[in-house]
Amino acid sequence: MSSRIEPAIWQKIIKQNGFDQTSQGVLIEEPFQLLASRVQQAVASQPAYPVGRVNVGLNNGVDYGNTKVWVSISVPVLPMESDISLAGEAAFIKVRQMVNEASAAMGLDPLP
């Protein structure tokens, strides 16, 4: 079962957080590439540039945790509200997708 995230969802959250959907003329499908590129550019120009990190975790389970799926994603970001917000939304969407795929493989009901 593939629960691929539609490009329109990524485009919507990229735009909602004030970013352009292209980077150097290349359409960005998932926002993680955009965020990583911004961090790399900042650190390349100023090695001591402060870099933040957004961590998102989600689990699904049954029988009081007897069978459980846990996925965690960590995204490096620039310490700006727009980057942190985009990383948080994107990481949650991606972690939910990954939990649901693992849940299906283990016979668990998916999260909504």
Q: Per residue, what are the HEC states of 62-80?
A: ECCCCEEEEEEEEEEECCC
Angle at 22 between CA 33 and CA 19, to 5 degrees: 80
Whether 101 maps to a domain, the answer reads yes
Whether 112 maps to a domain, the answer reads no
Whether 38 maps to a domain, the answer reads yes
Q: Check residue 23 and give its pLDDT.
A: 58
Number of domains in the chain: 1
Q: Check residue 18 and give its pLDDT.
A: 86
Q: Check residue 1 and give its pLDDT.
A: 47
Q: Check residue 84 and give its pLDDT.
A: 96
Q: Check residue 26 and give its pLDDT.
A: 52
Q: What is the pLDDT along the chain (112 residues), one digit of tens a residue?
A: 456 788 888 888 888 888 876 655 555 678 898 899 899 999 999 999 999 999 999 999 998 878 899 999 999 999 999 999 999 999 999 999 999 999 999 999 999 9
Q: Check residue 30 and give its pLDDT.
A: 81
Q: Residue 81: in which H helix or E strand, if any?
A: helix 81-106
- Cα–Cα distance for residue pair 64/85, rounded to 1 Å: 32
- Cα–Cα distance for residue pair 59/67, rounded to 1 Å: 11
Q: Check residue 58 and give its pLDDT.
A: 96
Whether 102 maps to a domain, the answer reads yes
- Cα–Cα distance for residue pair 80/77, rounded to 1 Å: 8
